[in-house]
Structure 1
């Protein structure tokens, strides 16, 4: 039941307030658009933004979040390290994390993956054809062979990430580049999904198949089997 999955959508919410072009596409912010889409699919959704106290990620919010979405771009450096540490611990303890587009450079994603997460990019509104390379994976449910996005920012290889546990999507762009656009990881008890599309000046998050992938990813990342782990000095089981 999606209603039992508690989702927090985190967005730095800077482009939408600084750029009329972005505000026209996302009048309630990228987080608002995603919240509406996920709420319509039955999830219990709240949002949090960079300029709220504690970036909106209080202990209470984190403890009541099953899956977090993360979108950031121009203000990665303003995210406080102590908040990153708290999110990191929650992921290791089982909270799911879906990292979107330019969130690849976020502190939390780089900390969890342990690499620079750098890549090639170009803002020329290439056509993107995102191929499903893991048919049958839960994140691809309801998707055909590919998703086509008429205008998107190009991301290109090499992408500075560890080898994914599962590679779900590979994108091709009209400029000729390819990119690993859907990558699954496990860190501790938490599931992580990186999903590439979503440049702020383009209406990508209104695309129904993009919304479907994000919904599927939330359901996949839900911590259904998380439990408190016993660690440290422990007594022997046998006499």
Structure 2
């Protein structure tokens, strides 16, 4: 059965800036959806200005992995929808947060920190994205590094909890470094933050970046989970009667 992916994007930059629309004429969500569909996945898209941001409970219940791209309108995402996504992640839905989605409400809720705290510089610098865990499924089929000709710089310190798994670290032309690929487990769900993807640069057209995101979807997809119960159960093994 194909992995069911929802690609969510604010879809504001593309409508407001001709230079961004020229890079992503179908929107960032459309670009990502195209290469995931080519990889055999069942893909849908949703955007900020749709009713309920396109993320109804029924849609989320039918989603294995949610991809999130946001930047200029984090505060416009309704708290009710954030809570809905959060509960689905705890229940097993995978979440992939891209680029400036680090400052989204959902990522901050899952991190428990102000993950918007970092350094940034929008100069189109060269980036070297280094693989630091060559055994991880997210780097399958890649070399030891990815060269990105022009990108927005993100620099440390990045105010996130210690990742459960660190997959990538970036070096930028101006000298900064950044933890650009981080994994966490939250409840039954898996979360991957992947930093590349500034809207003004054609990063999501790059084959290696597409491979990372495709691999990440496969990694984050739910498994056939054991049934987990909570509360006040009876003993699994009978407890012998104790003398008074």
C-alpha contact 1:93 1:226 (8 A) present in aligned 2 = no
The one-character-per-residue Cα deviations of 1:60-81 (angstroms, maximum 9, x if unpaired) are 1100000000000000000000
Answering whether residue 178 of structure 2 is matched by residue 179 of structure 1, we say yes
Who is 1:201 aligned against?
A: 200
| Structural mapping, 1:68-217, within 5 Å | 68-117=66-115, 118-217=117-216
Secondary structure of the equivalent of 1:4?
A: coil
Structure 2 alignment gaps of length 5 or more: 240-244
Residue in structure 2 matched with residue 20 of structure 1 by the alignment = 18
Counting only pairs closer than 5 Å after superposition, residues 53-68 of structure 1 correspond to structure 2 as: 53-68=51-66
Distance 1:229 1:79 in 2: 31
Count residues with an aligned counterpart: 237
Q: Provide the rounded CA distance (Å) in 2 between the counterparts of 1:148 and 1:59.
A: 39
Measure the CA separation in 1 of the matches of 2:225 and 2:33.
25
1:180 and 1:212 map into 2 onto residues whose CA distance is 19
How far residue 227 of structure 1 moved from its aligned partner, in angstroms, is 4.5
> Shift of the alpha carbon at 1:4?
1.8
1:93·1:228 contact (CA, 8 Å) conserved in 2? Answer: no
Instruction: Determine helix, strand or coil for the equivalent of 1:182.
Output: strand
Q: Distance in 2 between matches of 1:82 and 1:215?
A: 29
Q: How does 1:34-53 map to 2 (within 5 A)?
A: 34-53=32-51
**CA-CA distance at 1:234 after TM superposition:** 2.0
Q: Answer whether contact 1:9 1:35 (CA < 8 A) is retained.
A: yes
- Please state whether the residue corresponding to 2:35 is helix, strand or coil: helix
Task: Give the drift of 1:228.
Answer: 4.5
CA distance in 2: counterparts of 1:226 and 1:33, whole angstroms: 31
Q: TM-score, normalised by structure 1?
A: 0.97
Of structures 1 and 2, the larger Rg is shown by 2
Deviations for 1:120-158, whole angstroms, at most 9, x for unmatched residues? 000000100000000021000011010000000000000
